[in-house]
Amino acid sequence: MKITSSHDWRAGLAFDSPVLAADVLPGEPTRCAGCPADAAKHPRTELWAVKKRHPNDPAGLVRLYCAAHVPRVERAPAVAPRSPARSRRASAPRREPARRAPAAPERPKALCPDCFVEVPSSGVCGMCGQKVG
């Protein structure tokens, strides 16, 4: 089964970027996700819509926040340009780790000549009871 997302209003929102709720989701006054449950409803012109990532929904989850509870958006730090020495190191071929040889060669498994099953270290076949080797 392949999970695909259908086009809905959340597709136009960027993740973790507050947008005025009245612009993307007009409607009646509603509560802020950060306020207590018994708090008064806010008009959509005073609420911010924030799209968060969700592990089970690729479209994400949108919550509405008042100005007091809008989550901070932390911007990723600007990436410094690479120095020539770093780029040479990054392009150098990587060595594979040395493979270890087995500590001791495995001894051949004993098989019962009648049942053709592996015999335990006791030397007695578990199927027929014949002593092997």
Taking residues 103-112, what's their average pLDDT? 78
Amino acid code (one letter) for 114: D
Question: Which letter does DSSP use for residue 63 in this model?
Answer: E
Model pTM above 0.85: no
Structural domain boundaries enclosing 119? 108-133
**Beta pairing class for 57-66 and 47-54:** antiparallel
- Number of domains into which the chain is organized: 2
pLDDT at 90: 59
For residue 94, being part of any structural domain is answered with: no
Taking residues 2-23, what's their average pLDDT? 79
